[in-house]
């Protein structure tokens, strides 16, 4: 099983650091994950996973700055860990892959975590902070998430038609 960690189009230092800790890798191994892929964005310099097999708990680790096909990697993974950006959250919700959304308390703008917490309340995602990421994996709440309803943007087309014609 594989995990895909994504920070989106900028960077997320705290998440990238949390994604290479022994604690996190141990939690992943404990849940049966064998592969970790991390999209680091600007934070690529901070991704320094351990190199010995015992310290990585047998997990194969890959990382890169950016990808042109984020949707594909999200769909292929068995678990997604993403930042609380709307785009990443929507990709995760529609992919069918369970998601842990990581909020960034360092950003003073707390409306960022509004969407993550609301979706977590409704049972669609798990919400965590970088410091609690490993325990969010161990608790395995992501295995009991509800599937997210398919999108239907046609009402927008209808509203535009009503006003224009």
Partner 1 sequence: MHAATDKTLCVVLGSGGHTAEMARLLQGVEFDRYTRRLYIVGEDDALSLDQIAAVEVRSSVYSGEYFVERVPRSREVGQSWASTPLSVARCLARTARVLLYHRPDVVLCNGPGNCVVVCVVALVPRILGLKRIPIIYVETFARVRTLSLSGKLLYPLADRFIVQWPQLLDRYPRAEYIPNLV
Task: Decide if residue 152 touches partner 1 (CB under 8 A).
Answer: yes
**Largest CA-CA distance found in the chain, in angstroms, rounded:** 67
Coil, strand or helix at 53: helix
24-32, 34-42, 107-115, 126-134 -> range binding partner 1 (CB under 8 A): 107-115
Listed in order, strand segments (DSSP E) in the chain are 2-6, 35-39, 60-64, 79-83, 99-102, 126-128
CA atoms of 11 and 118, how far apart (whole Å): 23
Task: Decide if residue 108 touches partner 1 (CB under 8 A).
Answer: no
Q: Which of residues 32-91 bind partner 1 (CB under 8 A)?
A: 85-87, 90
Residue 121 Cβ vs partner 1, minimum distance, rounded to whole Å: 10
Task: Decide if residue 109 touches partner 1 (CB under 8 A).
Answer: no
Residue 10 Cβ vs partner 1, minimum distance, rounded to whole Å: 9
Instruction: Please state whether 57 falls in left (phi above 0), alpha (psi between -120 and 50) or beta.
Output: left
Residue 77 Cβ vs partner 1, minimum distance, rounded to whole Å: 19
Among 2, 9, 63, 132, binds partner 1 (CB under 8 A): 9
First to last CA, the chain: 52
- Binding stretches for partner 1 (CB under 8 A): 8-9, 85-87, 90, 111-112, 114-115, 118, 149-165
């Amino acid at each position: 099983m594989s995990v895909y960690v994504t920070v989106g189009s900028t960077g997320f230092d705290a998440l990238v650091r949390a994604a290479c800790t022994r604690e996190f890798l141990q939690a992943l191994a404990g849940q049966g994950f064998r592969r970790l892929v991390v999209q680091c964005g600007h934070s690529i310099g901070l991704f320094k996973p351990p190199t010995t097999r015992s310290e990585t708990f047998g997990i194969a680790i890959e990382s890169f700055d950016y990808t042109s096909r984020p949707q594909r990697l999200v769909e292929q993974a068995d678990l997604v860990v993403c930042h609380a950006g709307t785009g990443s959250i929507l990709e995760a919700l529609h992919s069918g892959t369970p998601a842990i959304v990581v909020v960034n308390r360092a950003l003073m703008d707390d409306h960022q975590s509004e969407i993550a917490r609301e979706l977590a309340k409704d049972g669609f995602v798990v919400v965590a902070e970088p410091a609690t990421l490993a325990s969010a994996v161990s608790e395995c709440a992501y295995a009991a998430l509800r599937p997210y309803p398919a999108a239907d943007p046609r009402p927008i087309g209808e509203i535009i038609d009503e006003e224009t014609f």
